[in-house]
Structures are given as C-alpha cells and as structure tokens.
C-alpha cells in the first residue's frame, strides 16, 4: 500500500521531534521536553552545582543551564552560596520555559516534605506522661506554643499553665522563657502539654476547725431561746 501525501506529512512532522528547530539542536529540544515532563510529574532529580551567580547557583541539566534561587536552596536563610559549589543536591523542576530559555530548579519543596515526615515520625514516638524542657515560642489568648526541639512543638492551654485561674498566659509566661512541660495528649499529630501537671497544687486551707464547727451538735440539755422576752430579760430600764 503506497503512502499518501498526508502520510508523508505526518511522518515529516513526527521527524521534527528528532531534529533541531533552527535554534536548538535535537539534544537540547529533548532536554527541554524532559524538563517540562519533570515539571508536571514533580519527580526528584539530582544535579551538581557548577557555578555561583547573583541570587543563587547554577547547575547543568541535560546540557541546559539551570538556575536555583538562593531562596530555594534551603529552608534556612543563606548568606553565602559558596559551600554549595560542586555539591550534588536533590531538586525538582520549578519552571521550564524553552522560549524564554528559563529553567528554574528548587530543593525547598523536597526539604519541606522531609522535615514534615521527620516531625510526624518523632511525634508518633512521643508518649503521654513524657516530660520535656522547652522554650515558649508563641503566646496566644488561649495558651502558649512550646518549642520542644527536633522540629516539634506543642500547646499548653491556658487552663494547663497554672493551678490558679489566670486571665491571660502572659501573666505567667513570656516568649523565650524556658519551661518544663508534661505531655497529656497526642492526637492527630498535635501534642497537648501541661505545666501545672508538674507543679504541686497549693495546699488546701486547714478545714479542721470548719469541720468541727459544722459537725458540732449542741447538747440536748442546752436550751437556746431567741424570743424578744429572752433578749430583754435581765435588762434594767
């Protein structure tokens, strides 16, 4: 069966995928196609940083120059990018635009996910009754969030701060203050803490005398009279 002109056109169009476009060679076109696919799939890739530029670093991706902004290199603030030079880092394609020759990579999303997984794993190991030494991170009207270290934090509800009734957590706590807290609940990845559980409740007032008064019963032989006549009796006018 002979091919029609339409078939030839389709085959020719298909062949363009494996040829340069007059500006980019075949390998470059395939590299951009792969970059676009990786942007959609958000698959992790590993690249080697081979240059430091203003605002970040550059790496090679399939022969394409890729840029990694300093804000997407780490979860922490970076003042100097030089320690990343010649280092392999795991990244995802953040933006791929062949027309503008813009390929931007990012490590930040991967680091966020790993930190969250690590946090959840550590929280799953926390036991009710466990005691932590932490730092007051944030104070709200309803309580205070305590930094427990290792990426974990928990809430001390206002009712769990003191045995005394307080109007606001700031009456007792201040941000940056070190405190000891006890875990009273772990649910849905959230840690509930208590400070008052580690503090002995104030001693109750001695109720012995009050009890004696309440339990005291007048002997039957004693007569208590409260009539007006009894009150006036003995008063000389």
DSSP H stretches of helix in the chain: 5-15, 26-41, 108-124, 208-215, 228-232
Q: How far is CA 50 from CA 57, 69, 70, in A?
A: 8, 14, 14
Pair 35, 107 in one domain: yes
pLDDT of 228 strictly over 70: no
Count CA atoms within 13 Å of residue 34 on its CB side: 12
* Mean pLDDT, range 121-130, rounded to an integer: 94
Number of domains observed in the structure of the chain: 2
Kindly state whether residues 72 and 160 are assigned to the same domain.
no
What is the rounded average pLDDT of the residues 154-158?
97
**pLDDT, position 193:** 97
- The larger pLDDT score, comparing residue 93 to residue 19, is at 93
Q: Mention every residue, 6+ apart, whose C-beta is less than 8 A from residue 89.
A: 46, 47, 48, 49, 59, 68, 73, 107
CATH of the domain at 131: 2.40.50.140
pLDDT of amino acid 147? 96
Residue span of the structural domain in which 164 resides: 126-198
- Is residue 25 in some structural domain? yes
Same domain? For 91 and 34 the reply is yes
Same domain (yes/no): 101, 191: no
pLDDT of amino acid 20: 47
Pick from 4-8, 19-23, 24-28, 70-74: least confident: 19-23
Give this prediction's pTM: 0.64
Mean pLDDT of the chain: 83
């Amino acid at each position: 069966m002979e091919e029609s002109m339409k078939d030839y056109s389709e085959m020719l169009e298909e062949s363009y995928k494996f040829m340069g476009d007059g500006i980019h060679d075949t390998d470059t076109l395939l590299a951009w196609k792969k970059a676009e696919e990786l942007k959609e799939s958000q698959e992790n890739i590993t690249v080697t940083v081979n240059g430091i530029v203003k605002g970040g670093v550059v790496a090679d991706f399939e022969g394409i120059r890729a840029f990694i902004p300093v804000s997407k290199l780490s979860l922490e603030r970076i003042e100097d990018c030089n320690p990343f030079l010649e280092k392999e880092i795991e990244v995802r394609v953040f933006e791929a635009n062949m027309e503008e020759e813009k390929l931007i990579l990012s490590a930040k999303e991967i680091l966020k996910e790993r930190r969250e997984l690590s946090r959840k794993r550590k929280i799953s190991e926390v036991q009710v009754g466990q005691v932590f030494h932490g730092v007051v991170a944030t104070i709200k009207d309803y309580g205070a969030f305590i930094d427990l270290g290792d990426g974990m934090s928990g809430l001390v509800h206002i009712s769990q701060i003191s045995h005394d009734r307080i109007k606001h957590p700031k009456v007792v706590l201040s941000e940056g203050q070190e405190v000891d807290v006890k875990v009273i609940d772990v649910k849905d990845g959230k840690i509930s803490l208590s400070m008052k559980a580690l503090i002995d409740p104030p001693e109750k007032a001695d109720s012995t005398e009050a009890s004696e008064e309440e339990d005291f019963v007048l002997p039957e032989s004693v007569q208590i009279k409260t009539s007006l006549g009894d009150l006036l009796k003995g008063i000389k006018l």
